[in-house]
Amino acid sequence: MRSVVISGTGLFTPTHIITNDELVAAFNSYADAHNDRHKGAIERGEIAAVPHSSSEFIEKASGIKRRYVMVKDGILDPERMMPIIPRRDENDQSFSAGMAVAAAKEAIERAGKQPADIDLVLCGASTSERPWPAVAVEIQAILGCSGYAFDMTVACSTATFAISTAMDALLSGSARCALVVNPEFASPQINYRDRDSHFIFGDVATACILELEETSTATHRFRITDRQLKTYFSNNIRTSVNFLTKAEPDITLERFFERDQFFAQQGRKVFKELLPLIYTLIDGQLQKERIDIGEIKRLWLHQANINMNLFVIRHLLGRDAGTAEAPVVLDEYANTASAGSIIAFHKYHDDLASGDKGIICSFGAGYSIGSLIVEKV
Ligand code: CO8
């Protein structure tokens, strides 16, 4: 039977860094100014005061120490709490395409391919700069790829779902070589005035080249031996930003700054509901493939929250794992939505030997879970 390999990966990391301390200082200045402005209403009990955020809480609750962003200007301004991103002309390259192309070039080189070898470009991210023309088609044109291209999203599981979609195309013969890119430009979608979520996301782009094993020549190739995709509807991680907002009868500028126009979640509920779904899916997948967890050399897990990952690891292994076994990148990158597990895979796979097995697993909004068992060729 023919098999599909990931034959190259790439990573684009933005240059601007925001530490927890910087973010918290801006939030607390915003909170103080807000509380001063509404002192009377707060004292009368009409509105609640905005409590301070803290770096200690963020690191303990999430494991995040800092994040990269495409644009830092404006985010730390307590009067604005939003990046300042001038509108790009339609003839200018989009941010997402630029991020994706940078990651793609590294993946193409590592796979030993030329852009013209690629006849399918799949661009998948949690948020998109525009609905159409597809960013994937723009990326296809910039790189000079052939064939066809399209965008897709399954929130935090977009990368694993896109890899699976690319596999289908390769196995059916509708493509010979696929590029999957995940430009996660998350920072403008964060509500920097919301203490519960102002620290969660960072920007990044990842890329993977997929092809049939028989055409691949790269040194580091990973055969995908099994894939499990699963979704369950939940509003616990949600954004309601959409093209209908501007048609609402009582539309105002303030409406665009309301909570539901940004990323919002019930973090505790997500924790409680999603965890059992994740380890049940992985347990079932290993059982189906008759693989003992002891044979799994590496777990490249979704990078949203360190405590979630520790929980999944303890359930699967019956013990804690070192970072060599289950790499952590969220301390440096924060939650990068669908790119997280791919950053971990990209940075921590070269040392594995032929025959070594690992799991790339993403989970998040939807709810959605995508789990790939891979084996080094
Ligand atoms: N500073 C200080 N204290 C705080 C802060 C803060 N910033 N925030 C909350 N607190 C307080 C709370 O008020 C609460 O106080 P009290 O106990 O007095 O009520 C206390 O700290 C505990 O609060 P929580 O219960 O909310 O804290 P948790 O321990 O649950 O941690 C987390 C919060 C970190 C959000 C955690 O719940 C979490 O990470 N959950 C999992 C979430 C997850 O994995 N989500 C995945 C979403 S990503 C995804 O699917 C992609 C979506 C699309 C992305 C779009 C791009 C933007």
pLDDT tens for 261-316 read: 899 999 999 999 999 999 999 999 999 999 999 999 999 999 999 999 999 999 99
pLDDT at 270: 95
Which residue segments constitute the domains of the chain, with CATH numbers given?
A: 223-237+260-376 (3.40.47.10)
- Residue with CA at minimum distance from ligand 1 atom 24: 268
Q: pTM of this prediction? A: 0.96
Q: CB-side exposure of 170: number of CA atoms within 13 Å? A: 29
SS3 assignment, position 67: strand
Q: Residue 138 contacts by C-beta under 8 Å, 6 or more apart in sequence?
A: 93, 94, 97
Q: 339 phi and psi, to 5 degrees?
A: -80, -20
pLDDT at 82: 95
Q: CB-side exposure of 227: number of CA atoms within 13 Å? A: 19
Q: Which residues line ligand 1 (CB under 6 A)?
A: 53-54, 57-58, 61-62, 126-127, 155-156, 186, 189-190, 195-196, 201, 237, 263, 265, 267-268, 270-271, 304-305, 308, 335, 337, 364-365
Q: What pLDDT tens digit does each residue of the chain (377 aa) get?
A: 799 999 999 999 999 999 999 999 999 999 999 999 999 999 999 999 999 999 999 999 999 999 999 999 999 999 999 999 999 999 999 999 999 999 999 999 999 999 999 999 999 999 988 999 999 999 999 999 999 999 999 999 999 999 999 999 999 999 999 999 999 999 999 999 999 999 999 999 999 999 999 999 999 999 999 999 999 999 999 999 888 988 999 888 888 888 888 999 999 999 999 999 999 999 999 999 999 999 999 999 999 999 999 999 999 999 999 889 999 999 999 999 999 999 999 999 999 999 999 999 999 999 999 999 999 99
pLDDT at 50: 96
> What's the first-to-final CA gap in the chain, in angstroms?
15
CB 136 within 8 A of CB 150: yes
**Cα–Cα dist 185/154, whole Å:** 15
- Residue with CA at minimum distance from ligand 1 atom 1: 53
- Residue with CA at minimum distance from ligand 1 atom 23: 196
Q: Residue 8 contacts by C-beta under 8 Å, 6 or more apart in sequence?
A: 106, 107, 108, 109, 110, 111, 112, 113, 207, 208, 209, 218
CA dihedral of residues 298, 274, 307, 201 (deg, nearest 10): 90
Task: Say whether 156 is catalytic.
Answer: yes
CB 158 within 8 A of CB 124: yes
> Max CA-CA distance within the chain?
72
Nearest to 110 by CA among 179, 212, 163: 179
SS3 assignment, position 111: helix
Q: Which residue has the tokens 């779904």?
A: 277
CB 196 within 8 A of CB 148: no
SS3 assignment, position 86: coil
**Cα–Cα dist 336/125, whole Å:** 10
